[in-house]
Structure 1
Amino acid sequence: MTHLPQIKIPATYMRGGTSKGVFFNLTDLPKEAQTPGEARDNILLRVIGSPDPYGKQTDGMGGATSSTSKTVILAKSTVIDHDVDYLFGQVAIDKAFVDWSGNCGNLTAAVGSFAINSGLVDSSRIPKNGVCIVRIWQANIKKTIIARVPITNGEVQETGDFELDGVTFPAAEVPVEFITPVDPSDAMFPTGNIVDELNVPGIGILKATMITAGIPTIFLDSQDIGYTGTELQEAINSDDAALTRFETIRAYGALKMGLIADISEAAARQHTPKVAFVSPAKAYTSSSGKEINQANIDLNVRALSMGKLHHAMMGTAAVAIGTAAAIPGTLVNLAATNGELLSEGKTSVTFGHPSGTLKVGAQASINQGQWTVDKAIMSRSARILMEGWVRIPGDSV
């Protein structure tokens, strides 16, 4: 039997925030993968090493976690006043499925760097020294993101002393702004309620704040589901029954948010919505052994991604946290303030996650009964880990 040889595709392996992914320039992909469809999905699955019934992605670039099973496709922007179009694909580990329904906020921090290095940003916009403002069109969710990329001697500055909990080594700081993460014409709260009663068969009725900001997210009160809010990954991810409960909650939340029409559709939409649980600020020891002081955080948040508790926090979920914290009465706001409104003029919260803490800012306002948010801001970092070509068998195309 004759087997096709491997093909090689120009690619860059990058860390962005607390995630890693394989980045492609659209024009470098095989022609049949330059448009959405089965060919593109098949190629990305093979690149990452999915589906893998062993759950290891040994035969691909994936790292067998939701944070490291990611792909990005960038192209010169087709949208006016933007530099680059950013398309994100979350690759399932054990299924032949690429989810295109949402964004990755962590990898957003690497988009600007890749765009500059790939010639997708006009050279006239890149200073000799200073900051290059990269205007990103997030094609999955049709939103604008601004990345402020440091430049030294005309090149992206990747090294620095900015520390990000969940990332071992310091790097250069990349502030990221999510502009109007909720369109004024869209409902930030799909059900119309700041807090809902979510009826989940086999579990009961749970209080939930369901918000679409950054990424559709279902926030729960940690006490309602039997947790303290200080749990680390092993407490959740080693408990199959708990993971099943969270997936059931996620599915019925997706139905109530109008993201799916039937509960059976939830399995094919793993990336969104996210499920998170919140508690008032409590001291704990992070996964790295770092002591988190109660006085240094406003609340604790734990979030699940692709069926597992995240080791830190997804960037898009952080946008949802910051936005919900700014709106009186949400479960996030109540956890952050113990029932009292945020202090006047405060536009950011610092929350504890399994790896440490993260500060996120958001400005929300209400107009004729409808909540809107102008932008959400956080700082991440990014670094090229490897660049060259990724190889896949020719029959993957």
Structure 2
Amino acid sequence: MTYLAQTQIPATYMRGGTSKGVFFSLKDLPEYAQQAGAKRDALLLRVIGSPDPYAKQIDGMGGASSSTSKTVIVSESTQNGHDVDYLFGQVAIDKPFVDWSGNCGNLSAAVGAFAINNGLVDPSKIPTTGVAVIRIWQLNIKKTIVAHVPITDGKVQETGAFELDGVTFPAAKIQLDFLDPTDASGEMFPTGNVLDTLSVPGLGELDATFIAAGIPTIFLRAEQLGYSGLETQDDINNDPEALARFELIRAHGAVKMGLIERIEQAQTRQHTPKVAFVAPAADYVSSSGKAIEANQIDISVRALSMGKLHHAMMGTAAVAIATAAAVPGTLVNQAAGSIPRESIKFGHPSGTLEVGAKATQIDGKWVVSQASMGRSARILMQGWVHIPPIV
């Protein structure tokens, strides 16, 4: 019997923020995968090693968590005033599914560097030494991200002293500005309210804030769920009943936000919305053993991604946190002391993160022009990924 040889595709394995994924230039993909569709999805699934009933992704580049089961496609921008287009695919681990419904804020930090390294940015925009300002068009959500990428001797600077909780080693800081981070509908609060009640069978009525900034997110009170807001991954991810409850909440919240029509459809939209629960600041010990004191943070937040508690915080959810904190009456604002904020420092399982956002009310509607945060990124490996032929 004759077997076909593997296909090799130029790729870069990068860390961006507290995530990592496989990056491709659009032009380097096989012709059949240069357009959206089932064959592109099949290629990315095979690269990452999904679907994997063992949930380990041993036969692929994925790392068996939502933070490491990610793909990025970058190309020269077709959008006026932008340098590159960036498309993000969240690859399910145990299902044959790539979710294109939202952005990855963490991997956004690596897009500018990847684009520069792969010749996708006009060389005149790259200083000999200084900061390259790269305007990125985020194709999933049709929004602009501005990456401030440090440059030394004409090349992307990756090493530095910037420390990011959730990442073991320091690196160079990359400032990210998310412009007009409200979703494409323009409605920051899909229900029209900053505070709602969500009815969930078996759980009763829960206070909730539904927000569509950064990424659609459902914020809940930790105490109503029986939590302190200081939980670790093991506290949640080792409890199948808790994970099932959160998925039920997510499905009902998605319906209320207008993202799906029926709760059953949540199974095909795993990446969005996110679910997070908040509590007032308190002392705790991070997953790395670092003592976090209540006076170091404004609020405690825990968030779930792809059905599991995140080890740190999704970058897009951090934008949602900062935006909600800036609006009086939201659960995030209440837990952070019920005072207007243009920046917030929150505690997550791995430590802390500070994010800025300024909200204003125009004609009765809340808007945010920009949210900003510091991340870092670096190349882990580059060369080719090899996959069996896609039929």
**Does the 8 Å CA contact 1:55/1:64 hold for their aligned counterparts?**
yes
2:119 aligned with 1:119, yes or no?
yes
Task: Give the aligned partner of residue 214 of structure 1.
Answer: 214
Report the Cα distance in structure 1 between the residues aligned to 2:146 and 2:162, rounded to whole angstroms.
Answer: 19
* Preserved CA contact (<8 Å) 1:184 1:372: no
Contact 1:16 1:106 in 2 (8 A): yes
In structure 2, what is the Cα distance between the partners aligned to 1:19 and 1:388? 20
Distance, in Å, in 2 between the alignment partners of 1:3 and 1:218 is 48
Q: 4+ runs of 1 displaced by more than 2 Å?
A: none
Match of residue 285 from structure 1: 285
Paired letter, 1:295: N
CA RMSD of aligned residues (A): 0.9
Give the SS at the match of 2:108: helix
Give yes or no for contact 1:9–1:391 (8 Å, CA) kept in 2.
yes
1:251 counterpart = 2:246: no
Post-superposition CA distance 1:290-313 (Å, at most 9, x none) = 000100000000000000000000
In the alignment, the residues of structure 2 paired with residue 3 and residue 75 of structure 1 have an alpha-carbon distance, to the nearest angstrom, of 33
1:55 alignment partner AA: A
Q: Which residue of 2 aligns with 1:190?
A: 190
Shift of 1:380: 0.2
- Contact 2:132 2:151 (8 Å CA) reproduced: yes
Task: Give the drift of 1:261.
Answer: 1.1
**Aligned amino acid, residue 341 of structure 1:** I
CA change 1:235–1:112 in 2 (3 A) is same
Is the Cα–Cα contact under 8 Å of residues 323 and 358 in structure 2 kept in the other structure?
yes
TM-score by length of 2: 0.99
Distance 1:371 1:281 in 2: 26
1:110-259 equivalent positions in 2, closer than 5 A: 110-182=110-182, 186-259=186-259
Equivalent in 345, 366, 372 of residue 371 of structure 1? 366
Correspondence list, 1:240-389, <5 A = 240-337=240-337, 340-342=338-340, 346-389=341-384
Give the whole-Å Cα distance in 2 for the aligned partners of 1:363 and 1:3.
58
% identical aligned pairs: 69
Cα deviation, 1:119-172, whole Å, max 9, x if unaligned, reads 111001100000000000000000000000000000000000000000000000
Measure the CA separation in 1 of the matches of 2:247 and 2:4: 40
How many residues align? The count is 391
Distance 1:100 1:334 in 2: 32
Deviation at 1:183, TM superposition (A): 6.0
Counterpart Cα distance in 1 of 2:26 and 2:282: 45
Unaligned segments of structure 2, at least 5 residues: none
Counterpart Cα distance in 1 of 2:109 and 2:71? 14
8 Å CA contact 2:141–2:183 kept in 1: the answer is no
Contact kept, 8 Å, 1:183 with 1:372, in 2: the verdict is no
Uncovered stretches (5+) of structure 1, i.e. residues with no partner: none
Q: Distance in 1 between matches of 2:123 and 2:180?
A: 27
Partner Cα separation in structure 2 for residue 139 and residue 116 of structure 1:
18
Please tell me whether residue 55 in structure 1 is matched to residue 55 in structure 2.
yes
How far apart in 2 are the matches of 1:261 and 1:333? 29
TM-score of the superposed pair, with normalisation by structure 1 = 0.98
Between the aligned partners of 1:164 and 1:189, the Cα distance in structure 2 is 30
Q: Partner amino acid for 2:346? A: F
Structure 1 residues 72-103: Cα deviation after superposition (integer angstroms, max 9, x where no partner): 00000000000000000000000000000000
CA distance in 1 between counterparts of 2:161 and 2:210 reads 36
Are the aligned partners of 2:141 and 2:184 in contact in 1 as well (CA < 8 Å)? Answer: no
What whole-Å deviation, never above 9, does each CA across 1:251-309 have from its counterpart, x for those lacking one? 00000000001111100000000000000001100000000010000000000000000
Letter of the 2:41 counterpart: D
CA contact (8 A) 2:290 2:351 kept: yes
What is the Cα deviation at residue 2 of structure 1?
2.1
